Chain A
């Protein structure tokens, strides 16, 4: 992997040096485009549209950013398209999230590897929570995990993603840090979306729920569910500040559903630097702070190399977990 990655990194460099004479000045964006690897209306689509709109409003890009929806394979179709056909497009960025890194880690994009593209920056994160119904006998995360440890079949956890998806992995990350070694025996029931998963918690079909803070907010406000732990490095701002993190309870687990962008692997360094800087400026703008607040996004400020390192670590962790539970070999 490292060799391939080196090549990928070296190639555009060579290309850039070769053409340095006729591209003396820095990168100038022309008609910018953002690929949302899903149908309109989903999270990736909103990432593209909202970031694009903010950039336009702030005058960072000429004209509007074109949003192209390229659905399929949980983002795999768009990934393959970028790697195979749009590899040297300097005006292209692609919306990504922890779903992208977990698919990459599990090899769910055939032939896909995180080194084939360049990771630009994050624009925020939605931290995970683990919750139970309001009348549940569990009051802290360790209590819940003790019950699972004693009898894994007694607790079913619902979540809005498929098995091996982010909501499932969050429970596993926390359980592992809590010292549960039989991760495979944890009962996880996949539902379509966080809303349905919370509803089944209220209906009493399952005993616990794993999801993102934003999708549970309505039920937290109404008091129907009890948040046992927030999987964030420190307490979240706003309404969620009254809930303890897992770390406070002695379980050092963080689960951030980040949102960000990657760019084609053959993007020139000038263009890469320009995008990193521009997304960074957008992230720090007041307009984006407002968008983040209204979307329930918590801060996650990583650009360029820091972001690439973050994604690499997250891919490595998910790979290890997935091997442990047997999703990949």
Chain B
């Protein structure tokens, strides 16, 4: 069943992709192949392989329980949040919080997780920011 759903999503994706490809504005100085042809071919391959999943699905994979799926989605949300918070809150603080969260959710106790988060964050900052001079995000306190 899962493969069939993948197939349906794949066909939808392929259709969307091909539709978007036909919308690519053709500029006046087009080459013989043009910017649309290749994406359309790719869309067709994507669609055909998806149809194959619908016809011949693999055995059902082992899905995570609802709780664990939520766990993964929540972690993804935290990582999205991290991406946006990084330039605002600065590298050290946001990274420590994110690493602490991940460590906690992966099974560390709250204190262990806090220590791990702080160590990872400061360690990376020292290595990449101070030693190697990468421009990491500067927060209100400059780090």
A complexed with B: yes
Q: Which A residues are within 8 Å of any B CB, using their own CB? A: 66-69, 163, 184, 325-327
**B28 surroundings in chain A (CB, below 8 A):** 184, 325-327
Is the CB–CB distance between A163 and B29 below 8 Å?
A: yes
Q: What separation, in Å, do the CA atoms of A68 and B28 have in the docked complex?
A: 37
| Complex CA distance for A184 and B27, rounded to whole angstroms | 11
The answer for the CA separation of A325 and B28 in the assembled complex, in Å, is: 7
Contact between A326 and B135 (Cβ–Cβ < 8 Å)? no
How many chain B residues sit at the interface, stated as a range, is under 10
By secondary structure, the B interface counts as loop
Using a CB–CB cutoff of 8 Å, the interface residues on chain B facing chain A are: 27-29, 135
B residues in contact with A326, CB < 8 Å: 27-29
Nearest B residue to A187 via CB reads B31
A68 contact set on B, CB distance < 8 A: 135
Q: Of A67, A69, A184, which is within 8 A of B29 by CB?
A: A184
A327 engages B135 (CB within 8 Å): no
What A residues does B27 contact at CB under 8 A? 163, 326-327
Of all chain B residues, the one with the shortest Cβ separation from A64 is B133
B135–A66 CB distance below 8 A: yes
Determine the chain B residues whose CB is within 8 A of the CB of A67 once the complex forms. 135
Query: For residue B135, which residues in chain A have a CB less than 8 angstroms away from its CB?
Result: 66-69
Interchain CA distance A66-B142 in the complex, whole Å: 13
Query: How long is the Cα–Cα vector from A63 to B27 in the complex, in angstroms?
Result: 49
Cα–Cα distance between A325 and B27 once the two chains are bound (Å): 9
A-B contacts, 16 of them at CB < 8 A, read A66-B135, A67-B135, A68-B135, A69-B135, A163-B27, A163-B29, A184-B28, A184-B29, A325-B28, A325-B29, A326-B27, A326-B28, A326-B29, A327-B27, A327-B28, A327-B29
Which residues of the partner chain B approach A327 to less than 8 Å between Cβ atoms?
27-29
C-alpha spacing A69/B134, complex, angstroms: 9
User: Roughly how many angstroms separate A163 CA and B27 CA in the complex, as a whole number?
Assistant: 11
Roughly how many angstroms separate A66 CA and B28 CA in the complex, as a whole number?
43
Interface hub of B27, B28, B29, B135 (most chain A Cβ within 10 A): B29
How distant is A177 from chain B, measured CB to nearest CB, in Å?
19
Nearest CB in chain A: distance from B129 CB, A: 12
Q: How far is A184 from B28 in the complex, measured between Cα atoms in Å?
A: 8
A163 to B135, CA, bound (A): 33
In angstroms, how far is the closest chain A Cβ from the Cβ of B34? 12
Task: Give the Cβ gap from B28 to chain A, nearest Cβ, in Å.
Answer: 3
What chain A residues lie within 8 Å of B29 (beta carbons)? 163, 184, 325-327
Sample of 9 further A-B pairs with CB below 8 A, known A68-B135, A326-B28, A327-B29: A66-B135, A67-B135, A163-B27, A163-B29, A325-B28, A325-B29, A326-B29, A327-B27, A327-B28
Cβ distance A94 to chain B, nearest Cβ, rounded Å: 14
CB distance from A181 to the nearest CB of B (A): 14
How far apart sit A326 and B30, CA to CA, in the bound complex (Å)?
A: 10
CA distance A68 to B133 in the complex (A): 10
**Residue numbers in B under 8 Å from A66 (CB-CB):** 135
